């Protein structure tokens, strides 16, 4: 009996200690300081190689004084090229790095909504494994999309419609679409979308594309860059300072998309309790064991 009581007591103590450890769990907060304001980011546990690498470089001061060397409005802002630290005005940048890459870590629940922190990389032809740059990253600005732009493959619809309308039996439809185009462009666009099921049946082509509900909601509200999804590793997100992305993206640029006035960054990392992060920034961490 005494042995049983001892074991139960031990299990209870371990359980209490485990609960305390869980409640005091900490994480890293990344602050990216610029002359346009500060951005605060959290890095995902599900992309451990990217998280570990970014924190390591930040603690070493690797990112400090590097430029946002490529900015494209309604798309993204990019930084992390070590060659940018002492770059001359007008110099083309974007090829530098620490001398290694990071294996791709695609996680389906993380995508390119506004504020997504993602790893830059070389194109598929030179980089078929889609490995990430060791230091270059970008922050998504993107744009707000209409549902139809996300649910319908416009290129496939256009090609299918062209084939369908080329048949003599569809000449009346072709003529009515031409008249509608000339009189009411919005009504014309709505009619084209409404023809999608007919095009699928007629041409045997699938023009509708599936998209997860959370992605659809995000892209039609806060916006983003959906064409990058599942091709580049998303390893974190901005949890404070989304307006800074807009300021940097609006900078005057040269022909290389480099801001004509340097925008430098200084990156710091702070470890703090997750509860404090939630309280300060409103970011809710996913529960352990939650479905991905």
Let me know: does 167 contact 155? Beta carbons within 8 Å: no
Is residue 10 assigned to a domain? no
Whether residues 134 and 182 share a domain: the answer is no
**Rounded CA separation 147/278 (Å):** 31
Supply the pLDDT for residue 189. Answer: 84
Query: Collapsing DSSP states into helix, strand and coil, what is residue 71?
Result: strand
The pTM for the full model equals: 0.82
Tokens 């014309």 locate to 188
- What is the enclosing helix (H) or strand (E) of 26? strand 26-34
Whether residues 111 and 253 share a domain: the answer is yes
Supply the pLDDT for residue 209. Answer: 86
Supply the pLDDT for residue 24. Answer: 52
Supply the pLDDT for residue 274. Answer: 96
Supply the pLDDT for residue 270. Answer: 97
Let me know: does 101 contact 133? Beta carbons within 8 Å: yes
Q: Profile the chain (292 residues) by mean pLDDT over runs of 10 residues.
A: 44 44 77 98 98 98 98 98 96 97 97 98 96 98 94 88 92 90 87 89 89 95 96 98 98 97 98 96 79 48
Supply the pLDDT for residue 5. Answer: 42
| Residue 168 lies in domain | 153-203
CA-based nearest residue to 127, from 231, 53, 51: 231
Is residue 17 assigned to a domain? no
Query: Collapsing DSSP states into helix, strand and coil, what is residue 57?
Result: helix
Supply the pLDDT for residue 290. Answer: 53
As for how many domains the chain has, the answer is: 2
Whether residues 190 and 252 share a domain: the answer is no
Sign of CA dihedral 110, 292, 211, 101: positive
Residue 118 DSSP code: E
Whether residues 126 and 77 share a domain: the answer is yes
Domain with residue 87: its CATH number is 2.40.100.10
Supply the pLDDT for residue 184. Answer: 87
């Amino acid at each position: 009996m005494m042995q049983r009581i001892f074991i139960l007591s031990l299990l209870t103590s371990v359980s209490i200690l485990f609960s305390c450890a869980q409640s005091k769990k900490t994480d890293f907060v990344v602050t990216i300081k610029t002359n346009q304001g500060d951005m605060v980011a959290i890095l995902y546990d599900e992309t451990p190689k990217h998280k570990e690498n970014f924190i390591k470089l930040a603690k070493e001061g690797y990112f400090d004084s590097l430029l946002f060397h490529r900015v494209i409005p309604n798309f993204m802002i990019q930084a992390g090229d070590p060659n940018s630290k002492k770059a001359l005005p007008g110099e083309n940048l974007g090829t530098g790095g620490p001398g290694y890459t990071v294996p791709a870590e695609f996680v389906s629940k993380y995508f390119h909504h506004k504020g997504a922190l993602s790893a830059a990389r070389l194109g598929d032809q030179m980089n078929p494994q889609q490995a990430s740059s060791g230091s270059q990253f970008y922050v998504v600005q993107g744009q707000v999309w209409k549902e139809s732009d996300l649910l319908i493959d416009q290129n496939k619809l256009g090609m299918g419609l062209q084939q369908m309308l080329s048949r003599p039996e569809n000449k009346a439809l072709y003529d009515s679409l031409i008249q509608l185009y000339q009189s009411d462009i919005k009504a014309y666009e709505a009619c084209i979308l409404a023809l999608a099921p007919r095009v699928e049946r007629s041409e045997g082509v699938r023009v509708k594309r599936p998209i997860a509900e959370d992605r659809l909601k995000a892209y039609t509200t806060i916006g983003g860059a959906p064409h990058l999804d599942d091709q580049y590793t998303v390893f974190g997100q901005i949890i404070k300072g989304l307006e800074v992305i807009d300021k940097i993206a609006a900078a005057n640029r040269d022909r290389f998309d480099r801001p004509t006035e340097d925008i430098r960054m200084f990156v710091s990392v702070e470890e703090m309790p997750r509860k404090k992060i939630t309280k300060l920034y409103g970011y809710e961490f996913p529960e352990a064991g939650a479905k991905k």
